[in-house]
Amino acid sequence: MHPASLRIEDYTYDLPDNRIARYPLPERDASKLLVYDDGLISETVYRNIAANLPRGSLIVFNQTRVVNARLLFKKPSGGVIEVFCLAPHGYPDIQTAIVQKGKVLWECLVGGAGKWKQGMVLRMKNDHPEFTLSARIAARNPGSFVLCLEWDNEALSFAEVLQYAGKVPLPPYLHREAELTDESRYQTVYAREEGSVAAPTAGLHFTRQVMESLEAANIEKAFVTLHVGAGTFRPVKSETMEGHEMHDEWIEITIKTIRQLIAHHENKIIAVGTTSLRTIESLYWIGNKLYNKVLIDFSCIAVEQWEPYETQPECSAKEALNALMEYMATQNLDKLVGRTRILIAPGYTYRIADGLVTNFHQPKSTLLLLVAALAGDQWRKIYDYALKNDFRFLSYGDGSLLWMKPEGRKKV
């Protein structure tokens, strides 16, 4: 089945406002964990997750780090214009852009854009360390702007400018301003690579102690990077998925991680979060093209939205991963950088992953479609159980460990 014909109305449920977690629990690993396996549901907490994973399995984390992407500028008249930094403009990747000094071009959403007159330069003074950040409109795009952001302390990278001048980009559905505790709690304990404007929230439940418990249980850890974009909150507004355009996001994968995936391809591979899942499944489709001698321009989208449903022929997961290894070796690459627009929805067959650790997602969202691709019609049973048993929903809420049936996966 091609997911273009899916009706988004078939993937909704009633989410009462009081079930949305506005704040995280005091202890990350005290959050409840729903475990779903072949129609059966049980409950535990995150600090016990290692006991629910097979020994010798591989668990994959997204190590992206959230940047303070919200900037509030005051106009000379006193009005406030809010800038939400989305993605770099004109740079080969986020890591190159985020370390720029003095000036960057960035694609942004602008609140109150109608009050920003052509040629007007906005400024923001920051005292720690002392610098002034200015913004002017470089280009207007449909739905967004390219801004030229400049600062007068050239010792600072753009990442540092955002750290000092920006605010934590909490999801809009929390309906509150970021507080001091959000600076640490809206960040995973293993975050390393700066570039996300939203947290990979499934990872927020993991603590140093939980990571140690995985090691003690002989569960190997691997890390990928997908820089989460604001499009993750974008609702599906079209009646069918054919009218929805997926946002693209930057992914980075080291050759070490690809070796780990190859070594565990016959074992259980568990993705922590929809972002990790989309990354490792995108790897298959990149590797499949390389295996079939298709030339890839990594400066463009490496995996398109409908590619998994329209591509023939297909190789095995091991062949795809080995093709990636060979490509990286011939190009002398330690890390693969690209962008993915993959849509995982009912009709998709998983190639790499066997299980998923994830929070509970919004109705009518592409993330809920991804869960339905894994659990089939059982996604309703899972969400009904969570609603009836006091699970907390969305970014700061509880989560689940979902295992897919063997027939939902093609891994040879």
Closest CA relative to residue 271, chosen from 61, 47, 411:
61
The CATH number fitting domain 3-65+187-408, selected from 3.40.1780.10, 3.40.50.300, 3.40.50.970, 2.60.40.10: 3.40.1780.10
Looking at residue 97, its pLDDT comes to 94
Other C-beta atoms lying within 10 Å of the C-beta of residue 158: 23
Looking at residue 118, its pLDDT comes to 82
- Average pLDDT of 6-31? 97
- Confidence category of residue 410, pLDDT binned at 50, 70, 90: low
- Confidence category of residue 166, pLDDT binned at 50, 70, 90: very high
Looking at residue 78, its pLDDT comes to 79
Whether the CB-CB separation of 348 and 318 falls below 8 Å is answered with no
- Average pLDDT of 13-33? 97
Domain boundaries, the chain: 3-65+187-408, 69-167
Q: What is the mean pLDDT of the chain?
A: 94
Per-residue CA distances from 327 to 73, 234, 262, 290, 293 (Å):
46, 34, 15, 8, 11
**pLDDT tens digits, residue range 127-139?**
888 999 999 999 9
- Confidence category of residue 412, pLDDT binned at 50, 70, 90: low
Looking at residue 263, its pLDDT comes to 96
Token pair listed for 99? 């370390």
**pLDDT tens digits, residue range 241-285?**
999 999 899 999 999 999 999 999 999 999 999 999 999 999 999
Q: Which helix (H) or strand (E) holds 212?
A: helix 208-216
Measured CA to CA, the distance from residue 334 to residue 42 in angstroms comes to 41
Confidence (pTM): 0.95
Question: Coil, strand or helix: which one is 345?
Answer: coil
Whether the CB-CB separation of 224 and 276 falls below 8 Å is answered with yes
Rounded (10°) CA dihedral 136, 141, 142, 145 = -30
Residue 316 identity (one-letter amino acid): S
- Positive or negative, the Cα torsion across 235, 237, 239, 240? negative
Token pair listed for 294? 């298709």
Question: Coil, strand or helix: which one is 385?
Answer: helix
More confident residue, 213 or 265: 213
Measured CA to CA, the distance from residue 307 to residue 342 in angstroms comes to 7
**pLDDT tens digits, residue range 84-128?**
999 999 998 899 999 999 999 999 999 988 888 888 999 998 888
Q: Please tell me the number of Cα atoms within 13 Å of 286 on its side-chain side.
A: 31
**pLDDT tens digits, residue range 378-403?**
999 999 999 999 999 999 999 999 99
